[in-house]
Copies of this chain bind each other. A is one copy, B any other.
């Protein structure tokens, strides 16, 4: 981005005449050059969604002042809105259990700069990933689950998250179910990868379910976590062709590649503020 400041504006509001005119007029008047813009009016929910990336020109006031002025327009249209400076890297905490492929994939993207985030911590209920995480110079927190009292581990997890203040929590094949309270608290800020093409094969061992049913494509789904298991708003999905020769183990192995792709795309969409919530669904401005 050539060292220039870049700001992303996201807006959700009831749909009506004049929103784009008001927003783009405001930006134009404040010498902001739009480099990307996308909008969508949902004819069903009658909600309007907008994402706009702009470079403030010489005459543009600082972000704080710009936000103050914009709030007038926002109020008029009852907007839920945010301005994000691209220089403020989102803080992403990753939770993982024993399967490390999604974590490895995210760490490689982080390590090479292709995923521009800060990772203040990686948390696991197993110690297996510690060495790899520490090689990446990221603090690793081992929070084992006490089977006689699972809530203890979650309390420790919540305390840690309180401390870390992440913008996004990623469940990278984290095999513990979050309590409804934690789900609610992380609402819209917690992405899970489910290893099936939802809504098919919810719950445990989806690749084994897929094998039993004899499907000809398997998939993976990245979605926001809600209190309904595997029912949250879907961000991205992908599939791969399989055939009768594939055992459940083969599906597991092939699925890992799909999970990597889908989860990393969903995380990227999220941190680039491309995902807006539309009830139980998402608007994704790619």
Contact = CB atoms under 8 A, between A and B. Distances in A.
A281 B214 contact: yes
Contact of A197 (B40, B200, B283): B200
B257 A239 contact: no
Nearest to A264: B257
A243 B20 contact: no
B37 A17 contact: no
Interface string A214-247: 1111010000000000000111111101011101
B213 A197 contact: no
Interface stretch (A22-30, A72-80, A82-90, A157-165): A22-30
Contacts of A22: 28
Contact of A21 (B28, B199, B235, B280): B28
Contacts of A244: 40, 42, 278, 281-284
Contact of A32 (B17, B31, B200, B233): B17
Given A112-B100, A286-B243, A237 B219 contact: no
Given A31-B17, A244-B282, A282-B244, A236 B219 contact: no
25 contacts: A17-B28, A17-B34, A21-B21, A21-B24, A21-B28, A34-B39, A35-B43, A36-B245, A40-B244, A100-B108, A104-B104, A104-B108, A105-B108, A114-B253, A114-B256, A198-B215, A199-B200, A214-B234, A214-B281, A216-B237, A239-B239, A241-B241, A243-B286, A244-B283, A257-B264
Interface of A: 17-18, 20-22, 24-25, 27-29, 31-43, 57, 100-101, 104-105, 108, 112, 114, 131-132, 135, 197-201, 213-217, 219, 233-239, 241, 243-245, 247, 253, 256-257, 261, 264, 278, 280-284, 286
B213 A199 contact: yes
A38 B29 CA distance: 21
A21 B28 CA distance: 6
The SS class assigned to the A binding surface is mixed
A216 B234 contact: yes
Given A198-B215, A244-B283, 10 more contacts: A17-B32, A17-B34, A21-B24, A21-B29, A100-B108, A197-B200, A198-B200, A214-B280, A214-B281, A216-B234
